[in-house]
Chains A and B, each alone.
Chain A
Amino acid sequence: MANPITTLRNSAEEFKQLDAKDKKRTITDSILNNALYILMLIFVIYTAIERPNFLSLGSLANLITQVAAYLPLALGIGGCIVLTGTDLSAGRVVGFTAALAGVFLQKADFANKMFSFLPTVNIWWILATMLIVIAIGAVIGLVNGFFVAKFSLHPFIVTLSTQLITYGIILWFFSLNGNNGQPISGLSAEYKDFVGGTMFRLGGVAVPWYVLYAILLTGLMWFIWNKTTFGKNMFAVGSNAEAAKVSGVNVFWTTVLVHTLAGAMYGYSGFIEGVRSGSVAANTGLNAECDAIAACVIGGVSFVGGTGKISGIIMGVCVLRLIFVALTMLGVDSSSLYIIKGAIILCACALDMRKYLVKK
């Protein structure tokens, strides 16, 4: 690989040699291709001018915390997108596992404790709960993967139905034991500390422990994607499933495992989400998959299939969070935020296609 400065200089040289018309086209091309980044930059500059404390260490800590919370979900969905699929059930699975984790780890003396027979909370029970909810997420992912792989159903359809089914289970779960659909609160202090306790402070704002977990998880995913047979097979199947089959890749198991892994990620996200939102309601995690899919597409995990990098997903999550942190600080109405999210996803898909079509 040539070093970036020479590459840049070379492209500058090339640019000079183009005629006026081509120059104009090159400029339009690069503006359009980077539309979202430019938009983000404008937001950030505008916010920094309007709200000077946006450029503080504290808001950096805030950004890191938010990225750490949204990253695992995006890493899970990223795999599904590499396979040219997607996963719409993510948000509901997060809601379900968050509810489970919440119930498992309620304060022993909490008046509305749902299941009084559960053991008192200690570190082992917290770890066990984490593994249980990850396993439950993985099982839902396995079901997704099985139907996608075995019956060649489109992931949209399969995950849409698991989304609904999971929501049904959530509603049913919330009415157990006379709970009557009330949010699950009274989470034990040990659980809150384990996930959301202060790791260190940055500019006076606490950085919680789950940032560390997110870093570890990202490392693990990078290893899986880049250094294992499974990862290589995943990219091969995403790039060309027919060729993968002929090349001796077990397409069925690869597809199932990608979805299972994604499900495990949702399970972990649910475990974190319980603490993050303070209490778990039936609607916790709603539409979380939209943010994750948008982050992946912005980060270059293309719906074309077979392309994508962990670093791209991190980048995508950062960009999206930065936009939202900026918008929140500006005080933009939350109903507009949904419209903006939708527009960003549509825009990112158009950009994704455009890059593929225009490339020489």
Chain B
Amino acid sequence: MQQDVLLKMKDITKTFPGVRALDHVSLELQKGTVHALMGENGAGKSTLMKCLFGIYNKDDGHIYLEGKEVNFKSSKEALENGVAMVHQELNQALKRSVMDNIWLGRYPTIGGIAVNERKMYKDTMAVFDELDIHVDPHRIMSTMPVSQRQMVEIAKAVSYNSKVIVFDEPTSSLTEEEVEHLFRIINMLRDRGVGIIYISHKMAEIKRISDYITVMRDGQWVATRPAAELEMNDIIRLMVGRELTNQFPPKTNQPGEVYLKVDGITGMYNQLRDVSFEARRGEIVGLAGLDSSGRTETLESIFGVRTRKNGSITLDGRPCLNRSAQESIKNGFALLTEERRATGIFGVLNIRDNTVISSLKRHKRFGIYLSEKSQREDTQRYIDAMRTKTPSQETKIRSLSGGNQQKVIIGRWLLTDPEVLLLDEPTRGIDVGAKYEIYQLILDLANKGKTVLMVSSEMPELLGICDRIVVMSGGRVAGEVDARSTTQEEIMTLAAKYV
């Protein structure tokens, strides 16, 4: 048994500032098996794989490939040692032909100078025949559908004689027929003794294809079992099974009359279709769903940073156009974005500048001059109110922890006096203690009669502080549930409705 172990990851630990992303995670992959890796968003699956491929440096732990310790510096090095990955987002030279992509960086040559096109073509066809892929090696990548490009990626992995192939959500853009083809290829690879790590959210697929299932949760290893022993419900229980004790402050808000109405929002450049729901004063509405189910797009469409094709927004009976962020802020909306680093913080600016940027009008004197004193006061008020831990107002926000950065940005929005708060993953990348404070803050806001729309991938969080949860799936509203009476299983089922 032991010599059949192809890849062994032992006690992998990875800490990001304020967050332990991986906590002594171990994984063993046998020869000729498909090993499914499951877990909620943010459970640490991707981080674990990034540690394997050297995209992140692990803090601790060892990786053994066929008994020898390895420590890849880059995915290229991993590939050369027979460890390949088929990515969610394909990383290809789109303007080049299929065979160029496969042999990129190791073109067969004649005399070391001229590229041997004929050998390249022959070798490509040999791999394609083996995998039963029907693609012309001369075709330009960008002219092919994503599914075929993925096949090319797999062929590339095979052409390197890979011993281990990692599939990260491979079926998310495939049709049923293509999925069948993919599974045939995976089965064939398994029969040849390749070890396969298969990451997916789709239970049915996992049950069909995998031999072993490892479940992760909160950066920790939870269980590894033979797939035959696990039923779908067992997997879900393992994935979400955490106790909900004292993680959340007591709910005290009292929803009032209907305040915000969102009617038939359809996106111009995204998958949103006919999204409608209502929210009351003092109510916290959660938006649940899988990645790319359209939750973020919904918030951004309401706020006007994404273009809507159709649909209307009504606030307190008054229609709001919300064509741009400026207009939405004027109408009393505030949006806390999902990607704090990309669209939230101004990294090189200090905390004061980060706090006051959306409410500069408050500090204007004589129509032009900005009062330093009033900026300082406002900033200090919110540093105190939210217990932001910072040496001074002049500290660059980049040097704060995730939780404190988030508090600064929430402060920025509260200074604009919003009536509707759109919070996108407000607790992402924040440690548990700070999470509690942010929950408390959200509840306080609801108590003051503000309407809160909150997107989160952490279901316990939604169940813990929301009043109502709108579940989205494939860009549509799949259903609405009462947060008090629903279960994670019910939400999961709804979330998979239009996948």
A contacts, CB < 8 Å to B: 1, 223, 227-229, 232-233, 235-236, 239-240, 242-250, 304-307
Contacts and interface: CB of A to CB of B under 8 A. Distances in A.
Chain A residues touching B, majority SS: helix
B460 interface: no
Interface string B353-379: 100111011001000111010000000
A246 B303 CA distance: 9
B412 interface: yes
B179 interface: no
Given A246-B303, A304-B348, A306-B348, A240 B356 contact: no
A246 B346 contact: no
Contacts of B329: 248
Contacts, number: 78
Nearest to A237: B346
Give the interface size class of chain B: 20 to 34
Given A246-B343, A248-B329, 7 more contacts: A229-B370, A236-B357, A240-B342, A242-B342, A242-B343, A245-B305, A249-B358
A221 to B, nearest CB: 14
A233 B357 CA distance: 7
Contact of A229 (B343, B364, B412): B364
A248 B325 contact: yes
A256 to B, nearest CB: 15
A305 B353 contact: no
A240 B345 contact: yes
A139 to B, nearest CB: 23
Contact of B353 (A1, A236, A304): A236
Contacts of A239: 346-349
A305 B348 CA distance: 8
Contacts of B337: 243, 246
Contacts of A227: 369-370, 372
Contact of A307 (B348, B356, B370): B348
B364 A245 contact: no
22 contacts: A1-B392, A227-B372, A229-B360, A232-B360, A233-B357, A233-B360, A236-B346, A236-B357, A240-B347, A242-B342, A243-B345, A245-B343, A246-B305, A246-B325, A246-B337, A246-B344, A247-B325, A247-B412, A248-B329, A304-B348, A306-B347, A307-B348
Contacts of B172: none
A239 B392 CA distance: 20
A228 B356 contact: no
Contact of A243 (B328, B343, B361, B372): B343
A233 B360 CA distance: 9
Interface of B: 303, 305, 325-326, 328-329, 335, 337, 342-349, 353, 356-358, 360-361, 364, 368-370, 372, 392, 394, 412, 416
A305 B342 CA distance: 14
A83 to B, nearest CB: 13
A168 B370 CA distance: 42
- Closest 9 A/B residue pairs (Cβ): A239-B346, A248-B329, A242-B343, A229-B360, A306-B348, A248-B325, A247-B358, A248-B326, A243-B343
Contact of A232 (B343, B356, B392, B412): B356
A247 B357 contact: yes
The winner among A235, A239, A244, A306 for most chain B CB atoms within 10 A is A239
A240 B340 CA distance: 11
B415 to A, nearest CB: 11
Nearest to B363: A229
Contacts of B335: 246
A236 B349 contact: yes
Given A228-B368, A246-B325, A235 B346 contact: yes
A199 B360 CA distance: 40
Residue with the highest number of chain A CB atoms closer than 10 Å, among B305, B325, B335, B342: B325
A233 B346 CA distance: 11
A246 B328 CA distance: 10
Nearest to A243: B343
Nearest to A242: B343
B364 A250 contact: no
A250 B346 contact: no
A225 to B, nearest CB: 11
Nearest to A306: B348
A244 B345 contact: no
Given A239-B348, A305-B348, A250 B326 contact: yes
B357 A240 contact: no
Contacts of A245: 305, 325, 343
Nearest to A247: B358
Contacts of A247: 325, 357-358, 412
A240 B369 contact: no
Nearest to B326: A248
B351 to A, nearest CB: 13
Contacts of A306: 346-349
Contacts of B357: 232-233, 236, 244, 247, 249
A135 B189 CA distance: 70
B266 to A, nearest CB: 22
Contact of B370 (A228, A244, A249, A250): A228
Contacts of B370: 227-229, 232
B406 to A, nearest CB: 13
B265 to A, nearest CB: 18
